[in-house]
Chain A
Protein backbone atom coordinates (compact mmCIF):
# COMPACT_ATOMS: atom_id res chain seq x y z
CA UNK A 1 0.00 0.00 0.00
CA UNK A 2 2.96 2.28 0.67
CA UNK A 3 3.36 4.90 -2.05
CA UNK A 4 7.12 5.54 -1.80
CA UNK A 5 9.12 2.89 0.02
CA UNK A 6 12.80 2.93 0.88
CA UNK A 7 15.00 0.16 2.17
CA UNK A 8 16.68 -0.13 4.51
CA UNK A 9 15.21 2.21 7.12
CA UNK A 10 18.42 2.14 9.15
CA UNK A 11 21.94 1.59 7.92
CA UNK A 12 24.92 1.48 10.28
CA UNK A 13 28.29 0.80 8.70
CA UNK A 14 31.96 1.58 8.89
CA UNK A 15 33.92 4.25 7.08
CA UNK A 16 35.24 3.09 3.74
CA UNK A 17 32.44 0.61 3.05
CA UNK A 18 30.15 0.66 0.01
CA UNK A 19 26.37 0.59 0.51
CA UNK A 20 23.16 0.91 -1.48
CA UNK A 21 19.73 2.32 -0.68
CA UNK A 22 16.71 1.28 -2.71
CA UNK A 23 13.57 3.24 -3.53
CA UNK A 24 10.37 2.19 -5.22
CA UNK A 25 7.19 4.12 -5.91
CA UNK A 26 3.84 2.63 -6.91
CA UNK A 27 2.17 5.93 -7.82
CA UNK A 28 2.95 5.79 -11.52
CA UNK A 29 5.01 8.98 -11.26
CA UNK A 30 7.66 9.71 -13.84
CA UNK A 31 10.00 11.92 -11.79
CA UNK A 32 12.01 10.72 -8.79
CA UNK A 33 14.47 12.43 -6.47
CA UNK A 34 17.09 11.80 -3.82
CA UNK A 35 17.52 14.28 -0.96
CA UNK A 36 19.96 14.42 1.93
CA UNK A 37 18.68 15.82 5.25
CA UNK A 38 21.26 16.90 7.80
CA UNK A 39 20.93 17.01 11.58
CA UNK A 40 19.43 20.53 11.38
CA UNK A 41 16.69 19.22 9.08
CA UNK A 42 18.03 21.07 6.03
CA UNK A 43 16.98 19.27 2.84
CA UNK A 44 19.48 19.21 0.02
CA UNK A 45 18.60 17.90 -3.44
CA UNK A 46 21.09 15.36 -4.75
CA UNK A 47 19.64 13.88 -7.92
CA UNK A 48 16.51 13.91 -10.01
CA UNK A 49 15.42 11.45 -12.69
CA UNK A 50 12.63 11.87 -15.21
CA UNK A 51 11.53 8.72 -17.06
CA UNK A 52 14.76 6.94 -16.10
CA UNK A 53 16.95 9.79 -17.35
CA UNK A 54 19.14 11.86 -15.07
CA UNK A 55 18.06 15.48 -15.25
CA UNK A 56 19.62 16.98 -12.15
CA UNK A 57 22.93 16.17 -10.55
CA UNK A 58 23.74 18.73 -7.92
CA UNK A 59 27.18 19.19 -6.40
CA UNK A 60 27.42 15.71 -4.98
CA UNK A 61 30.71 13.77 -4.72
CA UNK A 62 31.06 11.19 -7.45
CA UNK A 63 31.15 8.51 -4.74
CA UNK A 64 27.35 8.79 -4.97
CA UNK A 65 25.87 7.11 -8.02
CA UNK A 66 22.15 6.90 -8.70
CA UNK A 67 20.65 4.25 -10.90
CA UNK A 68 17.12 4.03 -12.30
CA UNK A 69 16.34 0.61 -13.80
CA UNK A 70 12.80 1.72 -14.59
CA UNK A 71 10.68 4.73 -13.80
CA UNK A 72 9.31 3.15 -10.62
CA UNK A 73 12.74 2.62 -9.05
CA UNK A 74 15.61 4.90 -8.15
CA UNK A 75 18.50 3.42 -6.20
CA UNK A 76 21.47 5.16 -4.63
CA UNK A 77 24.87 3.56 -4.34
CA UNK A 78 27.55 5.12 -2.18
CA UNK A 79 31.22 4.16 -2.41
CA UNK A 80 33.91 4.66 0.21
CA UNK A 81 31.58 6.01 2.88
CA UNK A 82 32.83 8.95 4.95
CA UNK A 83 31.82 10.29 8.36
CA UNK A 84 30.17 13.29 6.69
CA UNK A 85 27.78 11.00 4.83
CA UNK A 86 25.90 10.36 8.06
CA UNK A 87 22.42 11.79 7.45
CA UNK A 88 18.88 10.81 6.56
CA UNK A 89 18.38 10.16 2.85
CA UNK A 90 14.93 10.64 1.38
CA UNK A 91 13.54 9.41 -1.87
CA UNK A 92 10.62 11.31 -3.41
CA UNK A 93 8.50 11.18 -6.52
CA UNK A 94 6.26 13.55 -8.43
CA UNK A 95 3.98 13.30 -11.39
CA UNK A 96 4.92 15.19 -14.50
CA UNK A 97 6.29 18.61 -15.12
CA UNK A 98 3.40 20.66 -13.82
CA UNK A 99 4.46 22.90 -10.98
CA UNK A 100 1.24 22.37 -9.03
CA UNK A 101 1.97 18.71 -8.29
CA UNK A 102 3.37 17.96 -4.83
CA UNK A 103 6.17 15.55 -4.09
CA UNK A 104 5.58 12.27 -2.25
CA UNK A 105 8.33 11.24 0.14
CA UNK A 106 9.49 7.94 1.55
CA UNK A 107 10.14 7.56 5.27
CA UNK A 108 13.88 7.95 4.87
CA UNK A 109 17.02 5.88 5.37
CA UNK A 110 19.03 6.79 8.45
CA UNK A 111 22.68 6.28 7.58
CA UNK A 112 25.23 6.24 10.40
CA UNK A 113 28.92 5.94 9.69
CA UNK A 114 31.09 4.59 12.51
Chain B
Protein backbone atom coordinates (compact mmCIF):
# COMPACT_ATOMS: atom_id res chain seq x y z
CA UNK B 1 0.00 0.00 0.00
CA UNK B 2 0.88 3.69 0.05
CA UNK B 3 2.19 5.52 3.09
CA UNK B 4 3.76 8.84 4.06
CA UNK B 5 5.96 9.35 7.10
CA UNK B 6 6.69 12.81 8.45
CA UNK B 7 8.87 13.89 11.32
CA UNK B 8 6.95 14.44 14.50
CA UNK B 9 6.48 17.92 15.78
CA UNK B 10 6.24 20.41 17.05
CA UNK B 11 9.21 21.99 15.37
CA UNK B 12 10.09 25.19 17.22
CA UNK B 13 12.36 27.76 15.57
CA UNK B 14 13.37 31.37 15.95
CA UNK B 15 12.57 33.81 13.16
CA UNK B 16 15.06 33.68 10.26
CA UNK B 17 16.18 30.13 11.13
CA UNK B 18 16.53 27.42 8.48
CA UNK B 19 13.67 24.92 8.28
CA UNK B 20 13.67 21.28 7.25
CA UNK B 21 10.67 19.01 7.65
CA UNK B 22 11.42 15.45 6.60
CA UNK B 23 9.01 13.37 4.55
CA UNK B 24 9.52 9.86 3.18
CA UNK B 25 7.05 7.71 1.32
CA UNK B 26 6.24 4.28 0.01
CA UNK B 27 4.02 3.90 -3.03
CA UNK B 28 2.74 1.28 -5.42
CA UNK B 29 3.23 2.97 -8.75
CA UNK B 30 4.70 6.34 -9.61
CA UNK B 31 3.35 9.02 -7.25
CA UNK B 32 2.95 12.75 -7.44
CA UNK B 33 4.07 14.43 -4.22
CA UNK B 34 2.56 17.41 -2.41
CA UNK B 35 3.06 19.65 0.57
CA UNK B 36 -0.01 21.26 2.07
CA UNK B 37 -0.12 23.93 4.79
CA UNK B 38 -2.88 24.43 7.35
CA UNK B 39 -2.97 27.78 9.15
CA UNK B 40 -4.87 27.98 12.44
CA UNK B 41 -8.62 27.81 11.94
CA UNK B 42 -8.36 27.14 8.21
CA UNK B 43 -8.43 24.24 5.79
CA UNK B 44 -5.42 22.73 4.07
CA UNK B 45 -4.06 24.58 1.07
CA UNK B 46 -1.55 23.44 -1.49
CA UNK B 47 1.94 24.79 -0.82
CA UNK B 48 3.88 23.05 -3.59
CA UNK B 49 4.01 19.87 -5.61
CA UNK B 50 6.32 17.75 -7.79
CA UNK B 51 5.15 15.16 -10.27
CA UNK B 52 8.31 13.36 -11.36
CA UNK B 53 11.72 12.41 -10.07
CA UNK B 54 14.19 15.28 -9.55
CA UNK B 55 11.45 17.90 -9.96
CA UNK B 56 11.66 20.75 -7.47
CA UNK B 57 8.46 22.35 -6.26
CA UNK B 58 8.69 25.84 -4.81
CA UNK B 59 6.37 28.51 -3.43
CA UNK B 60 6.60 31.37 -0.90
CA UNK B 61 10.27 30.60 -0.25
CA UNK B 62 9.59 26.92 0.47
CA UNK B 63 11.18 24.20 -1.66
CA UNK B 64 11.05 20.41 -1.90
CA UNK B 65 12.78 18.06 -4.34
CA UNK B 66 11.31 14.73 -5.46
CA UNK B 67 14.01 12.16 -4.68
CA UNK B 68 13.07 8.80 -6.09
CA UNK B 69 16.27 7.08 -4.98
CA UNK B 70 15.65 7.92 -1.33
CA UNK B 71 11.82 8.07 -1.63
CA UNK B 72 11.84 11.46 0.04
CA UNK B 73 10.30 14.91 -0.41
CA UNK B 74 11.75 17.05 2.37
CA UNK B 75 10.41 20.58 2.83
CA UNK B 76 12.94 23.41 3.30
CA UNK B 77 12.92 27.14 3.79
CA UNK B 78 15.98 29.28 4.22
CA UNK B 79 14.56 31.85 6.63
CA UNK B 80 11.27 31.27 8.41
CA UNK B 81 8.90 33.99 9.59
CA UNK B 82 6.40 34.05 12.44
CA UNK B 83 3.66 33.93 9.80
CA UNK B 84 4.92 30.49 8.69
CA UNK B 85 3.64 29.00 11.96
CA UNK B 86 1.20 26.31 10.80
CA UNK B 87 0.80 22.56 10.36
CA UNK B 88 2.49 21.10 7.28
CA UNK B 89 1.28 17.92 5.59
CA UNK B 90 3.18 15.80 3.11
CA UNK B 91 0.99 13.80 0.73
CA UNK B 92 1.17 11.55 -2.30
CA UNK B 93 -1.21 10.55 -5.03
CA UNK B 94 -0.95 7.66 -7.49
CA UNK B 95 -2.80 7.45 -10.79
CA UNK B 96 -5.64 4.99 -11.06
CA UNK B 97 -6.79 3.05 -8.06
CA UNK B 98 -9.05 4.66 -5.52
CA UNK B 99 -8.53 8.40 -6.09
CA UNK B 100 -7.53 8.83 -2.45
CA UNK B 101 -4.37 10.79 -1.76
CA UNK B 102 -2.32 9.54 1.19
CA UNK B 103 -1.42 12.10 3.86
CA UNK B 104 1.25 12.14 6.52
CA UNK B 105 0.27 12.90 10.09
CA UNK B 106 1.28 16.56 9.83
CA UNK B 107 4.12 18.50 11.45
CA UNK B 108 3.39 21.54 13.55
CA UNK B 109 5.81 24.45 13.07
CA UNK B 110 6.05 27.20 15.68
CA UNK B 111 8.19 30.23 14.86
CA UNK B 112 9.10 32.64 17.65
CA UNK B 113 10.03 36.29 17.07
A residues lining the B interface (CB < 8 Å):
4, 31, 33, 40-43, 45, 48, 50, 55-56, 90, 92, 94, 97-108
B14-22, B37-45, B71-79: which lies at the A interface? B37-45
Give chain A residues whose Cβ lies under 8 Å from the Cβ of B41.
107
Q: Name the residue of chain B whose CB is nearest to the CB of A49.
A: B99
Distance of A104 Cα from B43 Cα, bound (Å): 9
B residues lining the A interface (CB < 8 Å):
31-32, 34, 36, 38, 41-46, 49, 51, 87, 89, 93-96, 98-101, 103, 105-106, 108
Give chain B residues whose Cβ lies under 8 Å from the Cβ of A50.
99
Q: Report the minimum CB–CB distance from B93 to chain A (whole Å).
A: 4
Give chain B residues whose Cβ lies under 8 Å from the Cβ of A107.
41-43
Distance of A56 Cα from B98 Cα, bound (Å): 7
